[in-house]
Amino acid sequence: MAIRRLPETLVNRIAAGEVVERPASAVKELVENAIDAGARRIDVAIANGGRSLISVSDDGRGMARDDLPVAVERHATSKLPSDDLLDIRWLGFRGEALPSIGAVSRMSIVSRQENDDSAWAIEVEGGKVGSVKPAAAGKGTRIEVRDLFYAVPARLKFLKSDRAEDLAVQEIMRRLAMAHPGIAFTLQQDGRVSFRADAVPASLMDDGQDLQQLGRLEQILGRDFADNAVPIRAEREGIRLTGHAGLPTYNRGNAQHQYLFVNGRPVRDKLFVGALRGAYADFLSHDRHPVVALFLDLPAEQVDVNVHPAKAEVRFRDSGLVRGLIVGALRHALAEAGHRASTTVAQSALGALKPQASPTMPLPFQSTFGGPSRWRGYDNLRPSSVPGLAEAAALYNAPQGDFSGDFSGETTATGEGLAPAARNEDAGVAPVPLQSYPLGAARGQLHETYIVAQTADGIVIVDQHAAHERLVYERMKVNLEAGRVPRQVLLLPEVVELSEAEATRLSTRADELAELGLVLEGFGAGAVVVREVPALLGDVAVQALVHDLADAIAEYDSVLPLKEKLEEVCGTMACHGSVRAGRRLTLDEMNALLRQMEATPHSGQCNHGRPTYVELKLADIEKLFGRR
């Protein structure tokens, strides 16, 4: 076998195999070029999923006559002024996209620079470059790609249906548009406008909320996202993170709505997926996913973008730092969001209430319920043993010995329930009606599960189990951070039978579990004996707890770092210590729960991302009854 040098066209086709995998990748390259050219408006049209035509027009700076033949040559670029591959300031840098696309299609370029008398055109057909000719066009560049892959028919066979290719093109456009809110984008598919994003002006009033970015995200991810997202802003060692993150209650069934941009470039990154998991681990069960768009801007030398043929992945110099920045910023922002639950929860609840709504339409908190294993073994949780709540109710009533009397049904029914501190008339403070608290005054309990409260302008319905679970969990975390989780010795140590692997897994983690207040040790093969439990959990069903912990540890063992693992385990424990649905509460206890929720971070959702309460505004209720 003789070694031979491959002809240029073949070399380009081989390169094209990597750079242009499908029509969407050609669209990506051409739109990125337009962005690099400083365009304010980019119009894309495709036909037959991009197979027969891809056209990209921009109003950017254009190319001069003599630039055109060079632009379609391999390894020719205007974007690497020095020879430093670590100093990349543009989306492009390799000078590969145009020659690759030209090698496998019929491509024509018409371009005009601002001060030129005319536009110039060049054609490339299956790699054969034609001569430059004058043409008529305004400032900017228009590139048309016809019959993509006609020169490599094998590739055509790998394309999916037109519909699937259409969707892939839309997704690329959405991503690029998200990262460049100042540019107007349109996409036409077979003559129909399927995507448009008008330019969002930079706001002079921007108070650090990244309004321009949010405006674009609203266009693309929808109004609901904008209403239910918190702004993210953090900076560390020259790395800047901005963006918006959805509230945990605004979650999705898959991870497709998670967008990361590094220096304006949409990328996929395992680090990002892991960081999101870590940041939301407290709030979401593992089959629910947050909606997030984050923008990372860092000095060019901190990130290597030359690691993937389609530039879809990057490598960070200090990935630990980046991960920490993302997790920290998200946690901080979610904590600030406090007990806010997403508006969509109330909206879909209202939707479900409306007479015309389908009767089978699930409420969001039903659809996101954790698996049945979570609920195993609650039956023997004794009501009297619920810790925290009774003591909180007592505290809450402390200012007046006879105060609880004021919470009798008749008194509260007139709406005059008052907060205890405010009722201290000796201090001369005007009474604060309970109703003016964010979660209002408890009015009653329905189905031994839901607390109904009246607020100044609406009704709040609280899922008592979900709410209490969150309270216990937050308290466990505080204890955990302080390094002292109060434990309670079991009078009779309890032996729990498990599989051998489960038992080993638990006993090798005995030290960590002890930190959380659970003291156990191996008990022969396939069993553990539990001696102490976290005091917060009260009279907990030990068997169920240990089984669930074994599940949790098996699931998260390798994927979460130690700290998050502990928190996940905390979550599992909290779930066991919670006021179960089905337990009757007194009004005092209900009000105590509401006040605790207001004072507790993240109390808008339980540990599994279900909302803990829904608020219905009077205005909305009036609409339901046609009063508005």
Ligand X SMILES: Nc1ncnc2c1ncn2[C@@H]1O[C@H](COP(=O)(O)OP(=O)(O)OP(=O)(O)O)[C@@H](O)[C@H]1O
- Binding residues for ligand X, rule: CB under 6 A, are 29, 33-34, 37, 58, 60-63, 71, 77-79, 92-98, 141
- In whole angstroms, the minimum distance from the beta carbon of 165 to ligand X comes to 21
| Terminal Cα-to-Cα distance of the chain (whole angstroms) | 85
Choice between 81 and 401, CB closer to ligand X: 81
- In whole angstroms, the minimum distance from the beta carbon of 604 to Mg ion comes to 45
Q: Which stretch in 94-102, 149-157, 398-406, 484-492 sits in contact with Mg ion by CB under 5 A?
A: 94-102
Which residues lie closer than 8 Å to 106 by C-beta, 6 or more apart?
A: 123, 124, 125, 126, 145, 146, 147, 150
User: Judging by DSSP bridges, how do beta strands 41-47 and 53-58 pair with one another?
Assistant: antiparallel
Choice between 241 and 314, CB closer to Mg ion: 314
Q: Please, are residues 220 and 177 in contact by the beta-carbon 8 Å criterion?
A: yes
- In whole angstroms, the minimum distance from the beta carbon of 30 to ligand X comes to 7
Give the one entry of Mg ion, ligand X, none that residue 108 binds, where binding means its C-beta sits below a cut-off of 5 to 8 angstroms depending on kind: none
Choice between 90 and 369, CB closer to Mg ion: 90
Long-range contacts of 514-521 (CB under 8 A, 24+ apart): 515/480, 515/483, 515/485, 515/566, 516/476, 516/480, 516/485, 516/566, 516/569, 516/570, 516/573, 517/476, 517/479, 517/485, 517/486, 517/487, 518/487, 518/545, 518/549, 518/573, 519/487, 520/496, 520/546
- In whole angstroms, the minimum distance from the beta carbon of 259 to Mg ion comes to 21
Cα separation of 401 and 112, whole Å?
85
Tell me the helices (H) and strands (E) count for the chain, helix number first: 21, 25
Whose structure tokens read 């003599």? Answer: 66
Give the one entry of ligand X, Mg ion, none that residue 77 binds, where binding means its C-beta sits below a cut-off of 5 to 8 angstroms depending on kind: ligand X
Cα separation of 263 and 110, whole Å?
29
- The tokens describing 333, both together, are 């922002």
DSSP string of 489-503, one letter each residue: EEEEEEEEE--HHHH
List the one residue out of 322, 234, 308 whose CA is nearest residue 276. 322
Please count the residues of this chain forming the interface with Mg ion, following the rule CB under 5 A. Answer: 3
Which residues lie closer than 8 Å to 203 by C-beta, 6 or more apart?
A: 211, 212, 215
Q: Which stretch in 96-104, 440-448, 456-464, 606-614 sits in contact with Mg ion by CB under 5 A?
A: 96-104
Cα separation of 396 and 467, whole Å?
18
Choice between 16 and 97, CB closer to Mg ion: 97
Is residue 77 a contact point for Mg ion (CB under 5 A)? Answer: no
Choice between 92 and 611, CB closer to Mg ion: 92
Give the one entry of Mg ion, ligand X, none that residue 332 binds, where binding means its C-beta sits below a cut-off of 5 to 8 angstroms depending on kind: none
- Point out the residue whose Cβ comes nearest to Mg ion: 92
Reported as type and span, the H/E element at residue 475 is helix 464-482
Give the one entry of ligand X, Mg ion, none that residue 615 binds, where binding means its C-beta sits below a cut-off of 5 to 8 angstroms depending on kind: none
Choice between 32 and 463, CB closer to ligand X: 32
Q: Which of 50, 62, 92, 243 binds Mg ion (CB under 5 A)?
A: 92
Choice between 142 and 443, CB closer to ligand X: 142
Choice between 29 and 162, CB closer to ligand X: 29
- In whole angstroms, the minimum distance from the beta carbon of 86 to ligand X comes to 15
| 423 φ/ψ angles, rounded to the nearest 5 degrees | -85, 0
Choice between 29 and 123, CB closer to ligand X: 29
Give the one entry of Mg ion, ligand X, none that residue 248 binds, where binding means its C-beta sits below a cut-off of 5 to 8 angstroms depending on kind: none
- In whole angstroms, the minimum distance from the beta carbon of 179 to ligand X comes to 16
Cα separation of 180 and 461, whole Å?
41
Reported as type and span, the H/E element at residue 593 is helix 587-599
Give the one entry of ligand X, Mg ion, none that residue 168 binds, where binding means its C-beta sits below a cut-off of 5 to 8 angstroms depending on kind: none
- In whole angstroms, the minimum distance from the beta carbon of 79 to Mg ion comes to 8
Cα separation of 589 and 595, whole Å?
10
Give the one entry of Mg ion, ligand X, none that residue 95 binds, where binding means its C-beta sits below a cut-off of 5 to 8 angstroms depending on kind: ligand X
- In whole angstroms, the minimum distance from the beta carbon of 142 to ligand X comes to 8
- In whole angstroms, the minimum distance from the beta carbon of 79 to ligand X comes to 4
CA separation (Å) from 32 to 44, 220, 289, 529?
Answer: 12, 18, 29, 61
User: Judging by DSSP bridges, how do beta strands 41-47 and 184-189 pair with one another?
Assistant: parallel
Cα separation of 497 and 76, whole Å?
68
Partner residues linked to 193 by β-bridges: 188
Whose structure tokens read 């209430």? Answer: 353
List the one residue out of 243, 97, 235 whose CA is nearest residue 181. 243
Q: Which residue type is seen at 556?
A: Y
Give the one entry of Mg ion, ligand X, none that residue 62 binds, where binding means its C-beta sits below a cut-off of 5 to 8 angstroms depending on kind: ligand X
Q: Which of 13, 25, 26, 33 binds Mg ion (CB under 5 A)?
A: 33
- Point out the residue whose Cβ comes nearest to ligand X: 92
C-beta atoms surrounding 134 within 10 Å:
10
Choice between 138 and 431, CB closer to ligand X: 138
Choice between 122 and 284, CB closer to ligand X: 122
- In whole angstroms, the minimum distance from the beta carbon of 134 to ligand X comes to 18
Give the one entry of Mg ion, ligand X, none that residue 340 binds, where binding means its C-beta sits below a cut-off of 5 to 8 angstroms depending on kind: none
Choice between 92 and 248, CB closer to Mg ion: 92
Give the one entry of ligand X, Mg ion, none that residue 464 binds, where binding means its C-beta sits below a cut-off of 5 to 8 angstroms depending on kind: none
Is residue 19 a contact point for Mg ion (CB under 5 A)? Answer: no
CA separation (Å) from 134 to 68, 117, 206?
Answer: 12, 10, 45
Give the one entry of Mg ion, ligand X, none that residue 63 binds, where binding means its C-beta sits below a cut-off of 5 to 8 angstroms depending on kind: ligand X
Which residues lie closer than 8 Å to 213 by C-beta, 6 or more apart?
A: 181, 242, 243, 244, 295
- In whole angstroms, the minimum distance from the beta carbon of 33 to Mg ion comes to 4
- In whole angstroms, the minimum distance from the beta carbon of 249 to Mg ion comes to 41
Q: Which of 39, 53, 88, 97 binds Mg ion (CB under 5 A)?
A: 97
Choice between 42 and 462, CB closer to ligand X: 42
- In whole angstroms, the minimum distance from the beta carbon of 90 to ligand X comes to 7
Which residues of this chain interact with Mg ion, rule CB under 5 A? 33, 92, 97
